[in-house]
Structure 1
């Protein structure tokens, strides 16, 4: 059961046609001609909708992604201009678009982008957990860069990313997939989808395991995804969604540049000592979306989602011991969107009115306890040892994000559209340390607004130009208010919680004004896109590591984010029955820096490369055989805000070889990663000022790896 907006059918019937004949007195009667249209694919419609945005976007086709290893979202978002996605060796991928969440993650509180599942919110006031983002469950991904996710209730600086789950209309009746490869990697998936009259379903079971590239880096996961759709009548349909997944992985920690060059597979000594790990013991996402086609021009879509995501983390070495954090988040989200096609002052127009609300439930509480015995020695006194299980801190973190948005697209003249919009935002953050402190609850409520104005012009059938000016709003995480105090340990205090923050601190919402201009189209060089953006950011939420695995977040002085995003897919050679050779390229230039900061001047913001380039040249034969070579390049990255030390630039190379049946019923592939076994930092976790020292801030990228897989489908 496809969503009603996708049911775009074309039907032309010419029952009879009389044409005067200059050579005869009688008209000629032609036979009836019937042309029945075929329902356009959901991907085709999605592409058309994205091209109506006055700004940049990406559409990821999972059929192509699945012709190689699909370990996580870094594989999904590869070769996408404007998108930085790197894995530190586990599922916690660091995703940044236009510098969003530049120094958060990769972890369970990733931010800067508004993540959705099937158009419904996954991101909450606690950030975006990653365990439910299993890529084999989706048919496509849509990235609406910058403010282009406005109509979906996204106001993040970076983007909205929508992962669209398979349905009975896009999935085979039965599919079996198995992947295996280096470092103990294995992944299994079984899925089924069918359309049964007015009812359709999709069901998938997936489990995975890896020993990890580094020591102390094993991981595993298992989960289920399902959705069930029913068409009540030709104008009304509803769909229920379920996602549940458990994950657990060890944490190897970060290395110095010298350690990375010497042996990138080693783990940090403290992480080995405390058996550092991060578990998601069972995350659940339940949702419903109902679509009502009111008439030919009006649609109402209502959604409701419940999300529960607990975490059990032991990652921080502390006074020869360790502490354990048990986090429990629950939230509920609601969306309502009304869209109508109409005329405005005699001009073609489309208006959208929407509401998005996400609220933490009162059960969102966390606690920290001693994981391994901690010994504290005061300046003068007897050492005190606290056993495992000793309570260090108990706290609550609550919040809500509410967005009322209105937008309009009006065709000012043929092929020239004006987009305007205004969003009203109400955010709430509440945080309290209930042990050892009490009666120190911080409650912040903020109203804000975000206008948007854009133009798109279809210069000719092959070229579209666009531009927009927008404002973005991003509130802090409630947890960051509990982890951002400069308070340090006092040696005269013996309690194990002495170094823990005892009171929540206030943080401002991050805001930005962004100008964007660009274009997309077809040319002799191939399908292309090119975008430039410039953002002036106030109160940017930046994170710094103040001691191993202990982070603080604060509002920065004014900063600038600007960059160029370019993509090109070129047909290098077309040989008919002999196949074709295609080159696809993605380049992202990122210039993120302070604006006359009192301490750092115009320093670059650490954490992301200035230049990031990905390319693949691939040969496809009509029989289904394919082979490709790929590369990835990233320039050097500052690892502290003082820009006193940098992680090295790197380039890696890979290759793929496979066969995909023309019937689409089975495929097999070989995926070779990092052919030269390059030693490099996949991600860095910045410090404040390392004074030129080589501090352990780099997470190694994966070395040489060989992966293979097979998939069979009953269509």
Structure 2
């Protein structure tokens, strides 16, 4: 059974070709393999163990979950362009990840999580992690550290299936696992370049030295941009150092640093995108609006202690410093966030009354150390006319802590039928204050809650080729700490701060009960996964309009009336033809998403806007034994609602892409050529919905790239 969520990383640190089963002795794998060797009578028995890749080890662990989860092997992602994490998260059912302007701020949603959050905000609704250490904070998830190069694999745990990490939010969790000295080349260089002035370079090194190992990756990128005012550049470092004291105790230190600068073009209307997607929204072009992350840092450690052959303890800690400089509007927004996080996971395997049983006890804490926002005059225009540049207009403080205690047990009730029972207790506290220019009524606000979050599920391995699973789970998503201020009252009157929030407002935690059932398996040259889920959501965090916000023509963050999220997540990998070591295959990922109000006083049973109802990705792929590979893929999206009143939509689209490359057999050398958006389609990649369109076109869309050609070269050696 699952040996704890961080076990895959720890196993790889050992540097041995161990089987996943050696570390999860009670697992009932969905796919069984033949023995590596068959003994011959009269001869010595020789057992040849099969070395599992780190990604395969992670897949073996996730097989124990009673729900939907996948592993993305970085080796497959590296066969094409790696501009942003939208490239890395492609072909994942249930995951909507779109980039606009080539920046890092993706539109990222799983099962409708963070449906209201745009591309230039901390992400919401998903627990994001590096090597099992939480990157998500009480403010949400800062996005600039998520450089896609330098990874071994990525775990995508949809919905409540991130429970073992402490991921209790509606969308689940994504865990990015970095390379170590055990699986990296001693020296490696990679370069990508192409349309829109794009170039990206990576230098990395990894090696094992006795009981220690290291890995370091340095990246640099620049993009002139397809759309006006979307120039982007970044520089980053990703490093880790591991040490094995003995067979039972190991530790690994992590460090990430990244600085980014992304132009901000604003949002366009539907007709503007269809006519000329390269234009920027006024007045952002005249202001040369930009969002700067001047240098975010992540320090972490994970220590694993194997108490005995049946139990293990993992202790993790991380510290983040994420400064932000937003120069988008007539006033700047300078943010400072310093946070700490800690994790503890104890796992053990037992046999209770003749039944195999695996138990995990865990704790996760994320807390603000320092969180604030300062607004200064940037463009002395309108109601700011005559004020000196840089004058402080407002200062806001934030605070928060999230603590999750979780307990899970998997028991094999009868052969190949496992029952999962789990529960968590969440203590959450958020606060916000506006100490400058003056303390208005309601400026200082604090709220806290204690919540019980249960989960139950089953997993039945019907045959070596077919598995069935299901679960009923609760989820909880607290508001980001800065949401409180955006839900508060406004400064009024003839003052420079008019229209800014003068204090915080109360926001309730978003909760949901989700029912999930699905199957995975392989047969007749097909490998599939199919999941249906239905979530009854209460207090969903969406844009709402109050009399105060309506008076200034703005919508704010608030809790919606009850909503329903349901959908189907399906993937299918098919071997169409195989001959003489060559393979022609087809992979497909389809997502159906139906998110609706339940008898809302204003919107009735309208669909929630911002995410397409139908989203499909398919690729036909050729792999040859000589090292040549080629793929032709399509991305298809249905129309996307752009307002709550369902009178305004982004049109549906079809995008076609081509990727060809060559990998030298037995060597770490690779070249590729990618051609994206072959038909040069004009389309809206991202929609951050407005409140009420009333038949008018709202500027709430960002365009996807046009026709682009990209090439890459990677060289590695030991």
Normalising by structure 2, what TM-score?
0.93
Q: Check if 1:573 corresponds to 2:577.
A: yes
Q: Flag the 1:465–1:589 CA change in 2: closer, same or farther, 3 A.
A: same
* 1:537 CA drift (Å): 0.2
In structure 2, the residue matched to 1:140 is 153
Q: Flag the 1:267–1:232 CA change in 2: closer, same or farther, 3 A.
A: same
Q: Are the counterparts in 1 of residues 487 and 506 from structure 2 also a CA contact under 8 Å? A: no
1:189-588 equivalences in 2 (<5 Å): 189-316=202-329, 322-361=330-369, 363-376=370-383, 385-438=386-439, 440-485=443-488, 487=490, 490=492, 493-524=493-524, 526-543=526-543, 552-577=556-581, 579-588=582-591
Q: SS at 1:150's partner residue?
A: helix
Structure 1: unaligned runs, 5 residues or longer: 13-27, 317-321, 378-383
Q: In 2, Cα distance between the equivalents of 1:29 and 1:574?
A: 35
Q: Flag the 1:242–1:31 CA change in 2: closer, same or farther, 3 A.
A: same
Equivalences, count = 684
* 1:696 CA drift (Å): 1.1
In structure 2, the residue matched to 1:694 is 697
1:560-639 equivalences in 2 (<5 Å): 560-577=564-581, 579-639=582-642
Q: SS at 1:433's partner residue?
A: strand
Cα RMSD of the aligned pairs, angstroms, is 2.0
Q: In 1, Cα distance between the equivalents of 2:270 and 2:666?
A: 49
Q: Are the counterparts in 2 of residues 528 and 566 from structure 1 also a CA contact under 8 Å? A: yes
**Which has the higher Rg, Structure 1 or Structure 2?**
1
Q: In 2, Cα distance between the equivalents of 1:234 and 1:373?
A: 64
Q: In 2, Cα distance between the equivalents of 1:517 and 1:63?
A: 30
Q: In 1, Cα distance between the equivalents of 2:314 and 2:356?
A: 22
Structure 2: unaligned runs, 5 residues or longer: 1-6, 23-39
Q: SS at 1:341's partner residue?
A: strand
Q: Are the counterparts in 2 of residues 655 and 671 from structure 1 also a CA contact under 8 Å? A: yes
Deviations 1:537-580 (A, max 9, x none): 00000136989997621000000000000000000111224x21
Deviations 1:60-90 (A, max 9, x none): 0111111111001100000111111001121
Q: In 1, Cα distance between the equivalents of 2:412 and 2:536?
A: 30
Q: In 2, Cα distance between the equivalents of 1:508 and 1:664?
A: 55
In structure 2, the residue matched to 1:55 is 67
Normalising by structure 1, what TM-score?
0.93
Q: In 2, Cα distance between the equivalents of 1:484 and 1:29?
A: 77
Q: In 2, Cα distance between the equivalents of 1:2 and 1:461?
A: 23
In structure 2, the residue matched to 1:23 is none
Deviations 1:653-678 (A, max 9, x none): 01011101221410000000000000
In structure 2, the residue matched to 1:16 is none
Q: Flag the 1:610–1:180 CA change in 2: closer, same or farther, 3 A.
A: same
In structure 1, the residue matched to 2:42 is 30
Q: Are the counterparts in 1 of residues 586 and 621 from structure 2 also a CA contact under 8 Å? A: yes
Q: Flag the 1:155–1:552 CA change in 2: closer, same or farther, 3 A.
A: same
Q: In 2, Cα distance between the equivalents of 1:455 and 1:256?
A: 47
In structure 2, the residue matched to 1:649 is 652
1:155-194 equivalences in 2 (<5 Å): 155-194=168-207
Q: Are the counterparts in 2 of residues 3 and 237 from structure 1 also a CA contact under 8 Å? A: no
Q: In 1, Cα distance between the equivalents of 2:482 and 2:632?
A: 43
* 1:195 CA drift (Å): 1.0
Q: SS at 1:143's partner residue?
A: strand
Q: In 2, Cα distance between the equivalents of 1:692 and 1:217?
A: 29
Q: Which has a greater percent of strand?
A: 1
Q: SS at 1:78's partner residue?
A: coil
Range moving further from structure 2, 539-548 or 474-483? 539-548
* 1:376 CA drift (Å): 2.5
Q: In 1, Cα distance between the equivalents of 2:599 and 2:586?
A: 42
